[in-house]
Homo-oligomer: A and B are copies of this chain.
Amino acid sequence: MKTVLEQAALCKAAAPALAALSTAEKNTALAALAAALETSAQEILAANAQDLEAGRAAGLRPALLDRLALTEDRVRAMAEGIRAVAALPDPVGQTVRGSVLENGLEVSQIRVPLGVVGIIYEARPNVTADAAALCLKSGNAALLRGGKEARNSNLCLGRIMGEALTARGLPAGALQVVEDPDRSSATAMMELTEHLDVLIPRGGAGLIRSVSANSRVPVIRTGEGVCHIYVDAAADPVMAADILYNAKCSRPSVCNAAECVLVHQDVAERFWAAALPRLAEKNVELRADAATLARLPGAQPAAEEDWDREYGDYILACREVAGLDEALAFIAAHGTGHSEAIVTQDYAAAQRFLNEVDAAAVYVNASTRFTDGGCFGLGCEIGISTQKLHARGPMGLEALTSTKFLVRGSGQVRV
C-alpha cells in the first residue's frame, strides 16, 4: 500500500506532463475514462456492495448509505458527467489580458493549471469521478481522499480510471486515490506544502473547519451554508412563500438550501398565511422566536444555537424583524457568506440588500437553490467557495487554474 506522501510525489511528478496536454488529448482521455466506467460497471458495483455491507453493519444512517450507494444508473450518470466535462471549454491557455508595452515588450497573462489539487471529501463515490474529470480537464494532477466508508468503491474507481489513463500514455500521478483513507491521511495531506498547490475540503462543516484551521497547504473553504430568506415589508407574500418552499424543501441536504427565514413584522401575517400550508406539505419543523411563536402556535421555540445551525433537513428557523437594518445585521452575524435572498418589490430595499450583504451569492426575488455551477453557466463545479481569496461561489474549471505572465522581447532592459 502506497503512503499519501508517495502518492503525492507521483502527482507532483506528473503535473508538468499534464499541464502540457492539448485540449484534444485531454478530451480523448476523458472519453476513455467514461467508457472505462461503463465497461467496468459490474466490477464497480461489486466493490460498492462491499462498502454498503460494511456500512450497514456499522449502522450508517440511511441518508449516508444512499449517498454511498451506486447503481447501474448512477455509474452511467458518472460516465455522462465525465463526458459533459469533456464538452466544456478548456480554460488552460486562455489569455486573461495582454498588451504591448511602450518599449515593445509583448506581455500576456494566460491561464495555467494549478499543478496538484488535493480534495478531501465524504463517502460519495460519484465525487471521485467528478473530481478526476475536472482536474484532468484543467490540466491538474489529482490526489483524492474520499471517506473511508467508500474505500472499496473509490479504490476500484481509481484503479479503473487510472488504467484508462496510463493506457493512453498519461502518467500514473495524473490521478491518485488515497489508498489508506483513515484520519491520518487527511492530516498528512494538510502538511504536503511541497506537493499540493491547493487543498479543497468538501463535506460537513466539521471537516471543513478542521482543514481550514490546520492545513499548511492553501485551502479553499467550500460549502458551509446557513442561508437566509428575508421577507421584506414590500414582499409579495405568495412569491415569498414559493421561494421559501423551494429554498427549504426542494433539497434540504444541500448547502444552498435555506435554514432560516427572517420576516418583516408588517408582512408577517399575510406571509405566514401563504407559507404555512406550503411548509406543511413536507412537515417542516419550525423553530421560532417569541414574536413568530405568537403567530404560529404549532411552532417550537428556537434555542440560541438554532440561529447558526445548518440543519440539512426539513427544519426551519423563523424570526420576525422590525426592518431591513435588523435583517442585514442578523445575516451579518449568523450567515456563512454562502447565499442570501431578499423577497421584495421595493427597489431601494433590493439595492441595499444586494450591496450590503457580504456573501458569495446575493438574490432578489429568487431561491438560493440556484447557487450552483451548472445553474450559473459554469458548466460544472468542484464545490462552492465560501471564502474570498481565489474563488468565491460556485467553482468551475477556471477556479482550478492559476495564471502566468509571458513576456516576449527583443533585447529590452529596464532603465
Contacts and interface: CB of A to CB of B under 8 A. Distances in A.
Contacts of A375: 101, 414
A20 interface: yes
Contacts of A389: 114, 197-198, 218, 220, 389-390, 402
Contacts of A408: 350, 354, 363-366
B414 A370 contact: yes
Nearest to A343: B411
Interface stretch (A61-69, A79-87, A238-246): A238-246
A250 interface: yes
Nearest to A236: B411
Which of A212, A243, A371, A414 neighbours the largest number of chain B CB atoms within 10 Å of its CB? A414
Interface residues of A, number: 68
Given A114-B389, A362-B406, A411 B242 contact: yes
A266 B165 CA distance: 39
Contacts of A56: none
A358 interface: yes
Nearest to A406: B354
Contact of A377 (B107, B250, B364, B402): B107
Nearest to A251: B414
A369 B412 CA distance: 10
Contact of A246 (B16, B212, B405, B414): B414
A404 B239 contact: no
Interface in A385-415: 387-390, 392-393, 402-414
A413 B246 contact: yes
Q: In terms of DSSP, what is the predominant structure of the interface of chain A?
A: mixed
Contacts of A226: none
B216 A218 contact: no
B393 A405 contact: yes
A126 interface: no
A356 B15 CA distance: 11
Interface in A334-357: 350, 354-356
A99 B367 contact: no
Interface in A36-68: none
Nearest to A244: B413
A361 interface: yes
A16 B367 CA distance: 25
A5 interface: no
A27 B243 CA distance: 41
Given A99-B377, A193-B213, A370-B105, A402 B392 contact: yes
A414 B197 contact: no
16 contacts: A16-B332, A16-B356, A16-B358, A107-B376, A112-B358, A114-B389, A115-B358, A197-B389, A213-B216, A245-B413, A361-B404, A361-B407, A363-B407, A366-B407, A367-B414, A376-B405
* The 8 nearest A-B residue pairs measured at CB: A366-B409, A246-B413, A388-B402, A369-B414, A390-B390, A361-B405, A239-B411, A365-B409
Given A16-B358, A243-B413, A366-B413, 8 more contacts: A99-B377, A197-B389, A218-B389, A366-B407, A369-B413, A389-B402, A392-B403, A393-B405
Interface of A: 16, 19-20, 99, 101, 105, 107, 109, 112, 114-115, 193, 197-198, 212-213, 216, 218-220, 236, 239, 242-243, 245-247, 250, 332, 350, 354-356, 358-367, 369-371, 375-377, 387-390, 392-393, 402-414
